[in-house]
A and B are shown apart, each in its own frame.
Chain A
Amino acid sequence: MTTLFWLFGVLAIVGALGVLFQTHPVRGALFLLLNFLAIGVLYLLARAPFVGFVQILVYAGAIVVLFLVAIMVMDLRRLESDFDLGLMGFLTFVLGVAFFVIVALVLLKNQIPEVSPPPTGTPEALGEWLFGQYLVPFELASILLLVAIVGAIVLIRRRRQDVS
């Protein structure tokens, strides 16, 4: 269990660093896919089977494909000056490391104990929560998806004078 956690944790970090430093869009999308798959396996290891499979279906199956289709449709190339190599780029790294160190120190001071046995997120258990106590957020999520569909169509639509 521990070995698998570190193996897929390192894979997730490699995928994230690939997205951070890769300049070719297709290779970046494939590193993103590696990260999503590794995180899906980590969900499975943490007794969250339903969320793990939904992660692989939706993130790795739909969102990465959406990125790849966008790259294909628009014929994106790499930018010459993709990285912000100035004072601002340097300060970005300083800010990131400081954020990580501060939050990690707080976390290490306040360790969360593991309950035994930890709860398992089966579809039955999650469905009871989702259609019981959390029914209103569930319905609001469907409204959010509807708004996103309408918004995407309005954004992509060409105006009539642009076509001619």
Chain B
Amino acid sequence: MSPNAYILLGLLLFTIGMIGVLFRRNLMFILMNLELMMNAVGLVLVGASLGGWIEGQLIILMILVVAASEVAIGIGILINVVRLTGRPDVDHLPKAPEESTP
């Protein structure tokens, strides 16, 4: 396949993920759509590797590290939101409480 087909498919998946991040209210699904966007960038880089730039595949490995870190931190934030409000809704986040001295 030509590099252009890979890059166009990556662009389409990135757009779907971007619409999902803006369209959903459930924090769980926002994290999933962020993962979709990172994978789409991987497809674009594989297209670049077919065009002769093999370092693109190294950058996919770096994106993998970033994605793993991001999902760990994101699920930590999600657990805190569910603990505070009882549901993972980003439109009903509580205001930051004033720091109370123990």
Interaction A to B = yes
Q: Are A82 and B19 in contact (CB-based, < 8 A)?
A: no
* Interface residue range, chain B: 35 or more
In the complex, what's the smallest C-beta–C-beta distance from B71 to chain A, in angstroms? Answer: 5
Q: Are B20 and A19 in contact (CB-based, < 8 A)?
A: yes
Q: Are B65 and A145 in contact (CB-based, < 8 A)?
A: yes
Residue of B nearest to A70 (CB): B75
Q: Are B23 and A84 in contact (CB-based, < 8 A)?
A: yes
Contact with A along B72-91 (1 / 0, CB 8 A): 11011111101000011100
Identify which of A5, A129, A137, A152 contacts B72 (C-beta below 8 A).
A152
CB-CB under 8 A for A70 and B79, given A51-B57, A79-B87: yes
Q: Are A121 and B57 in contact (CB-based, < 8 A)?
A: yes
Q: Are B33 and A129 in contact (CB-based, < 8 A)?
A: no
CB-CB under 8 A for A84 and B24, given A36-B39, A130-B58: yes
Q: Are B29 and A82 in contact (CB-based, < 8 A)?
A: yes
Q: Which residues from chain B contact A35 at a C-beta distance below 8 Å?
A: 13, 36, 39
In the complex, what's the smallest C-beta–C-beta distance from B42 to chain A, in angstroms? Answer: 7
Sampled A-B contacts (26; CB under 8 Å) = A16-B16, A16-B36, A19-B29, A19-B36, A28-B29, A28-B32, A35-B36, A42-B43, A43-B42, A47-B49, A51-B42, A51-B61, A58-B64, A76-B88, A89-B23, A92-B19, A96-B16, A97-B15, A112-B2, A112-B3, A112-B4, A115-B52, A119-B49, A126-B57, A152-B73, A155-B73
Q: Which of B's residues lie within 8 Å of A, judged by CB?
A: 1-9, 11-13, 15-20, 22-26, 28-29, 31-33, 35-36, 39, 42-43, 46-52, 54-55, 57-58, 60-62, 64-73, 75-80, 82, 87-89, 102
Inter-chain pairs besides A115-B50, A152-B75, A161-B102, 15 sampled, C-beta below 8 Å: A20-B20, A36-B39, A39-B43, A42-B46, A54-B61, A62-B68, A92-B22, A96-B18, A107-B4, A134-B58, A141-B65, A144-B66, A148-B70, A148-B73, A156-B79
